[in-house]
Amino acid sequence: MTQPTSTSTTATGSDPVIDVVARLVGEVIGEEYVADIDIGADTSFSDDLEMESIEFVALAEALQLHFGEQVNFVAWLAELELDDLIAMTVGQVATFIEGCIAS
């Protein structure tokens, strides 16, 4: 794995959806904050990125703008339990997006 730069917030490079989610996370919470974090499938929004709820809302909007109306991130989040939201990872979001795009 390589260290991310200020223009790249993921070191995986293997999953384009994870790469997009990582880039959007950087835009939402600040590239300078995530510059030293390798964002990958196992990265937790709560523990690793310490995202606030308002930042998560901004990420949801950015994801919907990027991927379109077929990705109803807000509706998906509304169906989850609080513990699931707290433990959510970048990989889980990417899997949800991939499922929406495929259908």
Q: Is residue 61 part of a domain?
A: yes
Q: Is residue 4 part of a domain?
A: no
CA distance 4 to 37: 7
List Cβ neighbours of 2 (8 Å cut-off, separation of 6 or more): 11
84 HSE (CA, 13 A, CB side): 8
- Looking at residue 12, its pLDDT comes to 46
CATH number where 84 lies: 1.10.1200.10
pLDDT digits (tens, 9 = 90+) for 35-68: 888 999 999 999 999 999 899 999 999 999 999 9
Q: Is residue 81 part of a domain?
A: yes
Which structural domain range is residue 43 located in? Answer: 16-102
Q: Is residue 66 part of a domain?
A: yes
Task: Say what the pTM is.
Answer: 0.82
Indicate the pLDDT class of residue 13, thresholds 50, 70 and 90. low
13 φψ region: left (φ > 0), alpha (ψ -120 to 50), beta (else) = left
Domain count, the chain: 1
Residues facing 39 on adjacent strands: 10
Q: Is residue 7 part of a domain?
A: no
Mean per-residue pLDDT, 3-25? 70
**What percent of the chain stands above pLDDT 90?**
68
Question: Helices (DSSP H) in the chain: which residue ranges?
Answer: 16-29, 31-34, 53-67, 73-78, 82-86, 90-102
Q: Is residue 1 part of a domain?
A: no
- Looking at residue 33, its pLDDT comes to 84
